Copies of this chain bind each other. A is one copy, B any other.
Amino acid sequence: MDRRDVPQAVITRLPRYYRYLGELLEEGVERISSNELSERMKVTSSQIRQDLNHFGGFGQQGYGYHVPTLYAEIARLLGLDRVHNMIVIGAGNLGRALAGYANFEKRGFNITALFDKNPELVGKKNVRDIETYAMEDIEEYMDTHEVEIAVLAIPKTGAPEVAKRLCDKGIKAIWNFSHTDLDVPKGVVVENVHLSESLMKLSYAMEEA
C-alpha cells in the first residue's frame, strides 16, 4: 500500500483508528467486524469499510479485520515503525509534562534532552533520566546527536528565534506549543498545538449549545 494512494481525509482519521486498534490488541482481540468497530468508534460501518479498504490486512466478507495486521499497517503509514529522536525546548510545566509522557516513547518518540534558559534547571535530570541543557547548547547538541523533532514549549516571544536556530541546524519537524505561527523553510514540518485557540473553540461551542 502506497501512502500516496490514501486520501487526506482518511489520513487525518488514522490516529483514531490506531488508538482503537491498539485498545483491541490490549484486550487480546484478534479479529473485529466493521459493525463491531463501528459501535465502539461511533462512526458508520460503511465509513470504516471505505477507510480501511485503503489498507491491506482485512479478511474476506464475514471474517472481519485482522487487528494486528491492520494495526501494523497503520503504524507504518504514520511512521511509527521507526524511532524518532526528539528534544524538548522549555523545561517549564508544559515541557516537563510532554517529556514525561511514557506513551510517546512507547510509540517510538524518544525524548533525549530538555533545554531551558533557567540555570537552576540546567545540568539536572528534571524528568525521568532526561538531562536539561542550556539554551546556548542547542547547536552543539544537534551537531553531536541525531535529532529529528523539536518540541517548542516556550513563550511566544522567544519562539521565532529558537525555531530559526533549529531550522539552521537541520531539524526536520517542530511540534509547536508556542502561541505564534512559525516561519520555517520549505520541507520543515510544523504541527501547531495552540491551546488557547482550542479553548476558544470550546467556548464558542458552549455559546451554541
Contacts and interface: CB of A to CB of B under 8 A. Distances in A.
The A interface, classified by DSSP as helix, strand, loop or mixed, is helix
A21 to B, nearest CB: 13
Contact of A15 (B77, B79, B109, B194): B194
A199 B97 contact: no
Interface in A10-58: 11-12, 14-16, 18-19, 42
A169 interface: no
A55 to B, nearest CB: 14
A139 to B, nearest CB: 22
Contact of A204 (B78, B94, B179): B78
Contact of A202 (B94, B191, B201): B191
A158 to B, nearest CB: 15
A204 B6 CA distance: 12
Contacts of A148: 206
A104 B104 CA distance: 27
Given A78-B200, A79-B203, 5 more contacts: A19-B197, A79-B204, A187-B209, A191-B199, A193-B195
